[in-house]
Chains A and B, each alone.
Chain A
Amino acid sequence: MKTTITVNGQARALDLDPRTTLLDALREHLRLTGSKKGCDHGQCGACTVLVNGVRINSCLSLAVMHDGDKVTTIEGVGTVDKLAPIQTAFLAEDAFQCGYCTPGQICSALGMLAEVADNWPSQETADLTGRIKLTDDELRERMSGNICRCSAYPQIVAAIRSVAGEVA
């Protein structure tokens, strides 16, 4: 099936078996292997990418459902020569060990911070009609869809917090 997806600012024309997940299209067809396949069932968050600015599990979506969409993967967040602030923060805070979950953590964090900027509530939000304050409890709750098998959670919280000031 013909599908065109704009990935990291570039329109990419694909011809796909409808069964191809967005994750497999990115990794196997476009060779963007930054997005990781952990559980392949939406439980670990390693495949998290931004679609039209919103974070989703790319393993639980068919690529053909994203014809015309704009997808940002970790390769579009920053490059080795030009790291994004959140990538620098993950390095500075030592927010990973093996690194497998990191691309998903970073994409998820970017999506999460945008949600906070838009004042979306979470289950930690006591006052649903007020302005969200990104406490550590809020931050942890909002990142609960990303699992870190090395358990770098305290450093992940610190890294996200260090860039959160600019948006939250």
Chain B
Amino acid sequence: MPIIVNLDVMMARRKMSLNELSEKVELTLSNLSILKTGKAKAIRFSTLEAICKALDCQPADILEYAEENEN
């Protein structure tokens, strides 16, 4: 998928673990893992809002668009 999730980068910048983020945004570890590994098909605005609040960042810091390489 051409949408890249940079959640792990932001978590590393804020020095926050997955468990800590999971508690702050009230998402299960498995759901956060789905998001982190790029397996998610959609993200709710409420989830995005909670993650941005917890990591003190903008949506663009977490999501990035990259042209898909056909090869």
Asked if chains A and B come from one complex, the reply is no
* Residues in chain A within 8 A of chain B (CB atoms): none
